[in-house]
Structure 1
Amino acid sequence: MSTTPQEPAGFGQPTLFGHPVGLFTLFFAEMWERFSYYGMRALLILYMVKGFLAYGDQDAIAIYGAYTALVYMAPFFGGMLADRLLGARRSVIFGGLLMAAGESFLTIADPQVFEPFRLFMSAVDTVAVVPRGVLFFLGLALLICGNGFFKPNISTIVGSLYPPGSRRRDGGFTIFYMGINLGAAMSPLLCAYVGENYGWSYGFGLAALGMLVGVAVFVAPTRFTQGLIFCGAIATAFSLALLGDNPLSKAANWFAAISLLISAGVAVVALQEGGIPSEAGTAPDAGRLRRRVLGPLSA
């Protein structure tokens, strides 16, 4: 570990390769969120066409297009709410949980839901009360809202790790975007394979699990986060190494697996010196949310 005196981290953190150690936790939180998002997208159109909804191609493409457009529009509102009310840290946690809930609704909307969950659903009789189509669109709505809170605000926290005018900030975002690309590369390989071979529920369930891991990486204590990153990387890399039905796909899978393991090793080393600073992403006025929600009762 080394700290650069001329250019300290925004919260006085130790640095690794010249970057605040908190960056590497955010790398994995964002990687798992992108794993969830792109894993779900890899299944969505096929799920609508070949699954229980049985939509035509035109309808499925229209829904997919509307969903994607709203996903990219939602961060505008999520960013404003974070700046004025919640703070970036709360928004990331809230958005991640909303997206995990959305993936879960897509999971239970499928009539071929896996056996243990089907037994639970028959016990509470939820599907009988809420039509499966409603669960599907409710899941999409939660994913849109969750993305609006999560996506802009985790990037805000990355920027806050660096002092104003830092020459290292662009490099930090490059590392951060590598996490995005790694998650986006792995998820179609795993979620699509699982969804196609074992059922839609498993594919969406794997995407939901990825989102929950991302939230856990963001909020968990440092030592637990180290174990979560390490174990998640081992399990995912092992799964990738088993897939691939031709030399080209096997080579791509192995490249993704090795990249993941190297990234996990760097993150575990960085976490020896700390995770995300507690001050990062806090609301400008810690009491503002309480006063706006409770009004005079908060006085």
Structure 2
Amino acid sequence: MNKKVFSINPVLVREMKVKMRTWKAPLLICFYDMVLILLVITLMNMGVVDSLGRISEESIVTVYLFMIAIQCTLIALIAPALTAGCISGEREKQTLDILLSTTMKHGSIVVGKLFASLSQMILLIVSSLPIFSIVFLYGSIGAREIMELFIYYIITAVLMGSIGVFFSTFTQRSTVATVMSYIFILFICFGTILISMAYVRILLMPQGNKFGPYEHNYWLMYFSPAAGWGSLMSAQLGEGVTNRIYGLYLNGKHTGILLWHINAMLDMLISALLLWLSALRINPARTRLFQLKSRK
């Protein structure tokens, strides 16, 4: 009887075998988790203790936010650097044509390069899950909040990586792709927030707009992962100000959809769009077609 075999992306399989066979991968995981554990223990020892000798809830929240800040920094700084050279690096080594001559589809090549580059970072994030479970002992954060957090981690990591892949396919040099990726990430994270706030303060407030802040003009902020992190944290920690102001309202009533819900869906759509454009870009037939049209 023939057994059904699930096909795995060959690019991802090859990269995972090369990276995981070396001593660097387990050493990196051990070092990262040990540093995170030591920092968490230090913060907890520095926390405020109540009259019964228990660590206060504010200290646990501080530890939780500190771990989240470390993971967010890891994603924002490392993900673009890992993926910005995945296609341009093949072009620089003159091996891209050999990769394109295989039977693999161009979309599979792009997706395989993306997840092969992000594999170690995602592994670091998943390996830190037991450390985050420390907050379970104090009842401040539950399993649902942790799962929401890690799902949002992965969605954000895929977005940052997709941006790096996109610029890697449209530029000839990995350095240029890295710089352009960081510029675009800075704009989508903080530029959208600044534009939204400037529009409201400069154009709407002087006019005495009759609509409240729940109604309008924060839609550009839905594209910002930074605003999404703020919304997720305020929802988990019970501070709903960000959610009340920037949640989705229809006819003056809150729909129950928070900002980070919308941002997660937009992140997935943007990632899919960027990967699709990247697959079109590395397709030699498409490139020649575009060149012929431009000549005409």
Is TM-score (shorter-chain normalized) higher than 0.5? no
TM-score in terms of structure 2 length: 0.33
TM-score in terms of structure 1 length: 0.33
When Rg is computed on C-alpha atoms for both structures, the one with the higher figure is 2
